[in-house]
Copies of this chain bind each other. A is one copy, B any other.
Amino acid sequence: MAFNKDTVRTVIFEADTPAGKAFDVWLIVFILISVGAVMLDSVEAIRTEYGAYLYAIEWFFTIVFTIEYGLRLWCIQNTWLYARSFYGIIDLLCILPTYLSLWVAGSQYLLVIRVLRVLRVFRVLRMVRYVGEAELITQALVASRRKITVFVSSVLALVVVFGSLMYLIEGGSNDNFASIPASVYWAVTTMTTVGYGDITPATPLGRSLATIIMIMGYGIIAVPTGIVTLELNEANRRRANTRTCPDCSAEGHSREATYCWRCGHHLFRDAGKPPESELGHL
């Protein structure tokens, strides 16, 4: 296999060939290890003892990913299109922080460096790219984006109102409800059923209002579920089999169907089974 743009692109951007598959698997392993190293580095006790090793690992993976990024830029036909794409930017953001930590030296910037360092965990986001099933879920979420926006706006309005009411009720006697923002934060933890318990009502009136909010949250949590279920169902049906019977125009054939369920007519002109790719897609 010659080392040219085409073969490299096949290996890096496609996962169909054995080499391409191996590359992707190794990339995931490398990403997971490097993210693990960053996470361990944040634990004080581990950094004190193994800091040097983790520093080496960090640089090793940064160089590996830099080479990989360079190859991607080199082998792709439209370099600029890739560089501006979502994953192109993520790929760049995954190597920059380590280099930036060199220029931006000095004890006073240490904390800032750590911020950049952590951003590298975005690498892990690339995992999603490797799974084809994500499409259906993404499709359903995209289709429901407007409904979700309306829903989230309503919930935000509700938590502001309820948070403010709670501030009025509990604010005087309860230090935890010291301001409206804190009360709104409480309303969010309550309505989303997270319920940390760091802020809780203590007066009977406050607890009564909390009860109403919780019961409301019960019904409200049902809305996004209904929306996503609806859209997943639609996305699934659209994908299922959009073919109509050439004879009687019946629709709604099951995914593996070859013959019409209503008139028994053959669904495909070239009398054969539907191609495997269609069957195995979902």
**In the assembled complex, A127 has its CB within 8 A of some CB on chain B:** yes
Task: Check if A106 is an interface residue, CB within 8 A of chain B.
Answer: no
Say whether, besides A42-B167, A134-B150, A188 and B214 are in contact (CB < 8 Å): yes
Separation of A252 and B256 alpha carbons in the complex (Å):
9
Would B115 and A128 count as touching, CB distance under 8 A? no
Shortest CB distance A198–B (Å): 4
CA distance A246 to B39 in the complex (A): 61
Interface string of A250-274 (1 = CB under 8 A from B): 0111101111111111100000010
Give complex CA distance A192, B189 in Å.
12
Stretch binding the partner chain, chosen from A5-13, A67-75, A77-85, A151-159: A151-159
CA of A273 to CA of B184, assembled, Å = 48
Report B-chain residues with C-beta under 8 Å of the C-beta of A254. Answer: 252-254, 261
Q: Which residues of A143-187 have CB atoms within 8 Å of chain B's CB atoms?
A: 146-157, 160-161, 164-165, 167-168, 171-172, 178-182, 184-185
Q: What are 19 sample pairs from A and B whose C-beta atoms fall under 8 A apart?
A: A39-B179, A39-B184, A111-B172, A124-B156, A125-B161, A131-B149, A133-B150, A134-B154, A137-B227, A184-B211, A188-B214, A192-B193, A197-B197, A219-B228, A222-B226, A233-B233, A242-B280, A249-B273, A264-B265
